[in-house]
A and B are shown apart, each in its own frame.
Chain A
Amino acid sequence: MIWQFDIIILIFLVIAAIISLRLKDLLGASMVFGIYSFLICLLWAEMGAVDVAFTEAAVGAGVSTVIMIATVFSTKRRSKD
């Protein structure tokens, strides 16, 4: 329960979100989104929500990133924005 961590992670979260939305390479965007999920999972572990953190680690950083990358592979990789 250390609020310094909290604040730092939150700031990083915002940065990660913006980067993943600004990248024109969808694969990279998906990767950065995975990082985002991992950060938010850290945040929840730090807030004491261990189950949520566990789930987010498994789902957000794991499966949803994988299926997103799978989609990017089977469609187009570059986007206009």
Chain B
Amino acid sequence: MKIFGLIAVLVVGALLLSATSDFPDWRDKDSPANKSPVSSFYIEKTEKLTKVPNMVTAVLADYRGYDTMFETVVIFIAGIGIIAVLRNFDGPYSSSIRRENNDEGSGLLARITCSLILPFIQIFALYVVAHGHHSPGGGFQGGVMLGASYILLALAFGLSKAKGYFSERRTMIFAAVGIFIYAGWGVLCLLFGKEFLNYSVLDSLLPGDVEMARSHSMLIVEIGVAFTVTAIMFSMYSNLSTRGRLNKGL
């Protein structure tokens, strides 16, 4: 087995290395990928068409928004997939919400530190979501940070306390609603008579002109992504850390 694996790996590596021979140089600004009309269109026209200086956000949420919707769906699938595989529901459904006497969680110092920094983490996460147009970040990164803040809460104060804020039912609703916001916004464009996710028709709905309509729609879409990612990150952690029993954390 090991030998077979080694041979296979070596063959694959040899193929790939042989292919690198006729690649354009690394950092070459005239490589086909870099001077192709597509990427130059993104770089040159983005700000004019969408008023979003962060091209990555623009491409992510507008030009290839269809991809990003499915990216969110992938996260969603992972979340409900983990529940479907691992979760074992014992007793009535509501029992997973009930508060236990939390002898869990970590020491006093950690709790105090967490209670001090958690607000800042969450505020920063919201900032990342909202400011993704102008700076690195966006719905996904912000969502992950928000979810991480809840994970931190669970680590410090025990899972049951965290579940008090973010029960399982609520995580599911949040996750579904996030995609609802995203896809629903696209369907709104459909209802206005243009293609799916064609934000430009919504300028009648949103303040500002067509470009601002695109920009605002991106913000809304990113918020949807943030909803889903936050919920799923937390439910991932809470299921994996308790073998799907959701009774007490690490």
Contacts and interface: CB of A to CB of B under 8 A. Distances in A.
Interface of A: 1, 3, 50-51, 53-55, 58-59, 62-63, 66-67, 70-71, 73-74
A63 B137 contact: no
13 contacts: A51-B136, A53-B136, A54-B137, A54-B141, A55-B141, A55-B144, A66-B151, A67-B241, A70-B237, A70-B240, A73-B241, A74-B241, A74-B242
B240 A67 contact: yes
Contacts of B136: 50-51, 53-54
A3 B28 CA distance: 13
> Majority SS of interface residues in chain A?
helix
Contacts of A50: 136
Interface of B: 27, 54, 56-57, 128, 136-138, 140-141, 144-145, 147-148, 151, 233, 236-237, 240-243, 250
Nearest to B54: A51
B140 A55 contact: yes
A31 to B, nearest CB: 15
Nearest to B148: A62
B243 A63 contact: no
Given A50-B136, A51-B138, A67-B236, A59 B241 contact: no
Contact of A63 (B27, B57, B128, B144): B144
Given A67-B240, A74-B241, A59 B144 contact: yes
